[in-house]
């Protein structure tokens, strides 16, 4: 039995169970809407999703969300790599800033939201701040670990051959840290994605989180579930088609892929 067949069979089973519960009458349709099959004219999750895609509402909300996510993610990666390098390079930075970053990593990003509202008001800047905070500390910790774990032999050989400063960073430290950096990117992306959804639910406008909040306010669970499907699909595509491909490519290039 192939992996694809197992997954399809599992998803179909979940669909059947969901439809059976929906048709059983245990819950009113607005609380437990059918996924595909409508028996009394009630809205279905699939129908709402298709209508949203055709009208452009879902695509527009997805574009707004992805723009916020990419902007915050790029800032977080830039800051995280810089802090990670400083922590790995200077021991006094590790003993001071490194300790604080480790503590901040354990603080959920949504906890920063009240502070963001006070500082920036309820709007785009506050959401961008939440997304950036959500990914920065994770990227900092992961990248500093990668930089610290560069084999000392590589550094000694490079320095013996005259490499130093930015040349040493570009040609030795960064390439040797790539596996850790890619793992950090995957985790930071997941943290940023979750932080963005929380921020949009509480104060965003125009994004997928705003659609979720609209569905809750209207008690339209078909809308809520259809947006959740979009969120899951986007997250899965980014992980499997971007980060996992990048990781496999790097593993092959550096000879770390398992031999067939």
Report pLDDT digits (tens) over 180-218. Answer: 888 888 889 888 988 888 888 877 678 888 888 888 888
Report pLDDT digits (tens) over 115-134. Answer: 988 898 888 888 899 999 98
Mean pLDDT across the stretch 7-34? 87
Least confident of 38-47, 72-81, 218-227: 38-47
User: What whole-number distance in Å separates Cα of residue 31 and Cα of residue 222?
Assistant: 9
Alpha-carbon 126 to chain mean position: 18
Mean pLDDT across the stretch 168-178? 85
Q: Is the pLDDT of residue 231 over 80?
A: yes
Q: Which residues contact 192 (CB under 8 A, 6 or more apart)?
A: 69, 72, 73, 76, 131, 132, 134, 135
Q: Which residues contact 178 (CB under 8 A, 6 or more apart)?
A: 146, 250, 254
User: What whole-number distance in Å separates Cα of residue 19 and Cα of residue 25?
Assistant: 11
Q: Is the pLDDT of residue 260 over 60?
A: no
Average pLDDT, the chain: 86
Report pLDDT digits (tens) over 26-49. Answer: 888 888 888 887 777 788 889 999
Neighbours of 244 (CB within 10 A): 13
User: What whole-number distance in Å separates Cα of residue 43 and Cα of residue 56?
Assistant: 18
Helix (H, G, I), strand (E, B) or coil at 26: coil
Going by the DSSP 8-state scheme, the letter that residue 1 receives in this structure is -
Neighbours of 80 (CB within 10 A): 26
pLDDT over 90 percentage in the chain: 24
pTM for this prediction: 0.82
Q: Which residues contact 236 (CB under 8 A, 6 or more apart)?
A: none
Give residue 259's pLDDT. Answer: 53
pLDDT over 70 percentage in the chain: 97
Mean pLDDT across the stretch 166-181? 84
């Amino acid at each position: 039995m192939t992996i694809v067949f197992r997954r399809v069979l599992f998803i179909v089973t979940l669909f059947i169970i969901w439809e059976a519960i929906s048709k059983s009458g245990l819950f009113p349709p607005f609380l437990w809407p059918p996924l595909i099959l409508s028996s009394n004219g009630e809205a279905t999750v699939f129908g709402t999703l298709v209508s949203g895609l055709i009208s452009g509402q879902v695509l527009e909300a997805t574009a707004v969300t992805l723009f916020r996510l990419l902007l915050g993610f790029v800032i977080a990666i830039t800051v995280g790599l810089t802090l990670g390098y400083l922590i790995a390079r200077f021991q006094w930075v590790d003993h001071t800033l490194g300790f604080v970053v480790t503590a901040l990593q354990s603080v959920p990003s949504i906890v920063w939201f009240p502070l963001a509202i006070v500082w920036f008001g309820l709007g785009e800047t506050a959401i961008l701040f939440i997304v950036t905070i959500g990914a920065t500390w994770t990227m900092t910790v992961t990248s500093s670990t990668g930089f610290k774990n560069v084999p000392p032999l590589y550094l000694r050989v490079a320095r013996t051959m005259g490499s130093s400063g930015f040349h040493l960073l570009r040609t030795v430290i960064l390439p040797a840290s790539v596996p850790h950096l890619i793992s950090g990117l995957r985790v930071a992306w997941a943290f940023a994605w979750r932080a963005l959804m929380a921020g949009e639910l509480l104060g965003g406008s125009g994004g997928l989180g705003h659609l979720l909040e609209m569905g809750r306010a209207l008690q339209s669970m078909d809308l809520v579930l259809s947006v959740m499907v979009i969120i899951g699909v986007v997250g899965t595509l980014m992980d499997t088609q971007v980060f996992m491909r990048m990781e496999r490519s790097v593993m092959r290039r550096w000879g770390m892929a398992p031999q067939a």
